[in-house]
Structure 1
Amino acid sequence: MLEAGFIRYFVNSVVVALSTALISVFLSLLAAYAVNRGKTPIYRQSLYIFLLGFAVPAQATVIALYALVKASGLYDSLWAVILPLAGFAMPVTVLVLTNFVREIPSTLFEAMELEGASHGAVLKHLVLPLSVRAVISMALFNFIGAWNALLFPLILTQSPEVRVLPMAVWTFTGQFGINVPAVMAAVTLSALPLILAYVFARREILNALRGGFV
């Protein structure tokens, strides 16, 4: 199994999952700040645009997404998987982070504004430290979702060089259909990061989701 390129698939999955988590959380934190501290109603109403993402299943966008990725020249690359995964992770991430940022007392924002702090300084020195628990939890949540993703890698990639673990396990199943130990070894190794994430971060993820949705 290791000689069949499992390490390469493992590294590809790490790159995809980490990039998806970082991009989705970074953009969602900016959106959450804009929704809560925007000076015009359009900023506050923009939250509903993100919430529309809950009504659009990924399967319904496959044809349009494939055409868009092909036209942009990203087909059969890791970015073809990372960007759609980050986009579909943003609705729930924006919702959770928006509710966390909303809980920060407005007097703290006003104090920093009186000191002449820029939006970047407010995000760095106020919003991020007070929302770090939610940020880490949503990053882990999105990491797990990207790690398990099969639909986008199946449709938007084809080369073995950019194959991720779910695709690799699927390939091993076809290549070693009778060799059950090889398939189980691939599944076990691909599940280890998720098991570790569950053991060490289960409480943080559940607390962030409960707090964000409430």
Structure 2
Amino acid sequence: MTPEQPRAHWRRSHTVARPNYIAGVFALVWLVIVLAPVYVLVKGSLQNQAQYTASGPLSVPGQLTTANFALVFQQGFLHFFLNTAIITVAVVAIVVVLVPPLAFAIVRNRSAVVTVVFRVILLGLAVPIVAVIVPIFYLISKAGFYDTLPAVILPTAAFSIPLSTVVMTGSMRDITTDMYEAMAIDGASSWRIFRSLVLPLSRGGLATVIIFSALNAWNGFLFPLILTQSASVRVFTLGLYDFTTANAVDAPAVCAAVVLSVVPILVVYLLARRALIRGLMGVGGK
């Protein structure tokens, strides 16, 4: 070792990272841009209509009130919340039951029929909801599901399956062939391989599928708008119309309703955001 090598090693090991002030400024600006709408939303929910109209959206709030939240509950928000929760749970259940076995068959069965089925499923990613809303309305009406919760649950789950299948197949393909062959040599059936090997090693992808389908169902608007009518099956995204009249909009009440509806799904996202990102990047199974 030459005299210069220990000196170079010392310099590398004692190098102090210089702060990137430019990146910090841009990060701060981006944080302000992201938090500004949240501040406006929360501030508006704690003001009355007169204060909201008189003050600017970014002004410092004066007297705060919780009357908007009380009004939201009086308008039946809890019932709307319950309907939305039922739809979300049902959609997640359908996707979780159908997608993992489907993805397992696609990964392990290389036949032409399975390949064609997978390509047909992928076509669902390219079909916008607005392009098929009329045929869906016709099918739901003929099936006798119009103005019921299944009228929203079934098409929402159907449109969640294509992307969920892509995520799960990517997660299962991360499992090496040696693991499949080892269990097959031990005499394990396809069901045991799926239950004992694939599902435990695909937890990241499964978490991503659950979060994605839950977000898709929780924030759904078009299907409830077109396929339901009565207040008994109304979801909270449609319940916001109750605070709109022909002449004005009760903006503080709308803000309060939005705050209450965002909190549950925001908590779920914050708890599982890493699994969601890993799964969408195709490494959920690792």
> Is the TM-score greater than 0.5?
yes
1:124-145 deviation digits (Å, cap 9, x = unpaired): 2111100011101210111011
With over 3 angstroms needed to count, the CA separation of the structure-2 counterparts of 1:111 and 1:152, relative to structure 1, is: same
Spell out the pairing of 1:132-211 with structure 2 (5 A cutoff): 132-174=203-245, 177-211=248-282
With over 3 angstroms needed to count, the CA separation of the structure-2 counterparts of 1:182 and 1:5, relative to structure 1, is: same
Q: Which residue of 1 aligns with 2:49?
A: none
CA shift at 1:39, angstroms? 5.4
1:116 to 166, 181, 187: 187
With over 3 angstroms needed to count, the CA separation of the structure-2 counterparts of 1:173 and 1:116, relative to structure 1, is: farther
Moved more, 142-151 or 114-123: 114-123
1:37-59 deviation digits (Å, cap 9, x = unpaired): 11523223322111111121110
Query: Which is richer in helix?
Result: 1
TM score, norm. by length of structure 1:
0.92
Q: Which residue of 1 aligns with 2:142?
A: 71
Q: Which residue of 2 aligns with 1:54?
A: 125
Percent of aligned pairs with the same amino acid: 37
5+ long unaligned stretches in structure 1: none
1:13 to 77, 80, 84: 84
1:92-148 deviation digits (Å, cap 9, x = unpaired): 111111111111112222233333333322222111100011101210111011111
Structure of higher RCO (CA pairs closer than 8 Å, 6+ residues apart): 1
Output the amino acid matched with 2:237. P
CA shift at 1:61, angstroms? 0.6
The question of whether the paired residues in 1 share the 8 Å contact of 2:104 and 2:172 is answered with: yes
In 2, Cα distance between equivalents of 1:176 and 1:19: 38
5+ long unaligned stretches in structure 2: 1-71
With over 3 angstroms needed to count, the CA separation of the structure-2 counterparts of 1:40 and 1:4, relative to structure 1, is: same
The question of whether the paired residues in 2 share the 8 Å contact of 1:25 and 1:90 is answered with: no
3-state SS, counterpart of residue 54 of structure 1: coil
1:6-26 deviation digits (Å, cap 9, x = unpaired): 101101111111211221232
3-state SS, counterpart of residue 226 of structure 2: helix
Moved more, 134-143 or 198-207: 198-207
In 1, Cα distance between equivalents of 2:218 and 2:260: 13
TM score, norm. by length of structure 2:
0.70
